[in-house]
Amino acid sequence: MHIQLGMLHGAALRMSAFFFLSGMLFSNRRFSTWKSYAQHKTKVLLVPYILLSLFFLALDPVLYQFDAFFPLSPKMNILGIYPDIQNAFQYLGWNLVKIFIAGKSSIGSGPLWFVFNLYAISLLFFAIHQFTSGRKIFLFLFALLCLGFGFFLNRFHLHFPFGFERICTTFFFFALGNLCKNFLLRFEKQKLFVLLLAFFFAAIFYAIFEKPDPNFSIMNNDLGKNFGVFILSSLSGIFALLALFLILNRMPSWKIILVFKGILRNISRNGMIILATHWWILLVLRIVFKSELDKPFWAWISLPIVFLGMIFFIPLFRSKLNRLIAKEKISWRESLSIR
């Protein structure tokens, strides 16, 4: 696309914040054994990851007009390999390798790599949490070890099946989120001006430390060359985001604030659908309308197209294709509700 819409400037924040928040929400109350926990996570994460990956692979236009569309499609990076693909059959085969071996989903639903990654680090964290009896110092030391090993693999461009290298890196943020839960509960009770100052300074630090890089990718464990900059930018960005959420929670119950909060809740409920479908829509636009969307003005047309696509896909998956995402069937009105 011609425009990046600020996405590069949020690269160090997006996925690290997601795994941090996931760690905050970790709980073993309902599932007290590793087996029961693994069965639950397999049902709600691994199975939807596989089914959605295959679903959007079946909708990939490259499979049906390979010669015309393959040159315009994103290039695959599988375990550090850029395969030489000559036909639709090979394209299909490498997509299956991408789904089941690399843990990165198909080209048509690329962002779903986070689902498999979350599945893996959730099971790993549960096991370590049980083994250490939840002792924070041991959890923190193991998280640091994982982070250091993940960055070591990044520096030497080493890749393993199932995204082992990015599992190491992202495990740190998941564990840190869990370890910081009590601190954030206390921080939430601070006065509003304290939250505002925290957000202001954290945002300033993020702007200082964050270095936009088009090659940065947690999915590929490509973290840049400076370990300190990566950590400082990620942590300051996470803290700024959390402070912003706490500030919004203190805001008066004005209608515009309630609407904004409702939109965020809807996004959190339907995040898996939104990430997969928005990427597929952009993929189709990139392939079919690339020449038009490379122009500065027409690039903005992609925004309402993606928005309308979400309005269509969210009810479709929640009311008709709910089994693909392991969700209970609800009406289209409920699926789009922002209350």
Q: For the CA atoms of 144, 148, 154, 159, what is the dihedral angle to 10 degrees?
A: -80
With bands split at pLDDT 50, 70 and 90, how would you rate the model's confidence at 44?
very high
Distances (CA, A) of 36 to 97, 118, 223, 249: 28, 17, 34, 34
User: Tokens for 84?
Assistant: 């030489």
Q: Mind listing the pLDDT tens digit for each residue in 265-278?
A: 888 889 889 988 98
Residue 110 reports pLDDT greater than 60: yes
Q: What is the mean pLDDT of the chain?
A: 88
pLDDT of residue 7: 54
Q: How many CA atoms lie within 13 A of 36 on its CB side?
A: 7
* Top-ranked range on mean pLDDT: pick from 97-101, 187-191, 232-236, 276-280: 97-101
Q: How far apart are CA 110 and CA 285, in angstroms?
A: 15
Per-residue pLDDT tens digits for 165-217: 999 999 999 999 999 999 988 988 889 999 999 999 999 998 888 877 777 88
Q: pLDDT tens digits, residue range 275-303? A: 889 889 988 888 877 766 666 666 677 78
- Cα–Cα distance measured from residue 322 to residue 316, given in angstroms and rounded to the nearest whole number: 8
Q: What does the pLDDT average to over 65-84? A: 90
Query: 302-319 and 271-288 are packed helices; what angle lies between their axes, rounded to 10 degrees?
Result: 130
Is the confidence at residue 11, as pLDDT, over 70? no
- At residue 339, the pLDDT reads 77
Q: What is the pLDDT of residue 2?
A: 41
pLDDT value of position 213: 74
Q: Where are the alpha helices (DSSP H) in the chain?
A: 11-24, 34-41, 47-58, 66-69, 88-100, 113-131, 136-155, 164-179, 181-187, 192-209, 227-250, 255-269, 271-288, 290-293, 296-299, 302-319, 332-335
The pLDDT assigned to 95 comes to 96
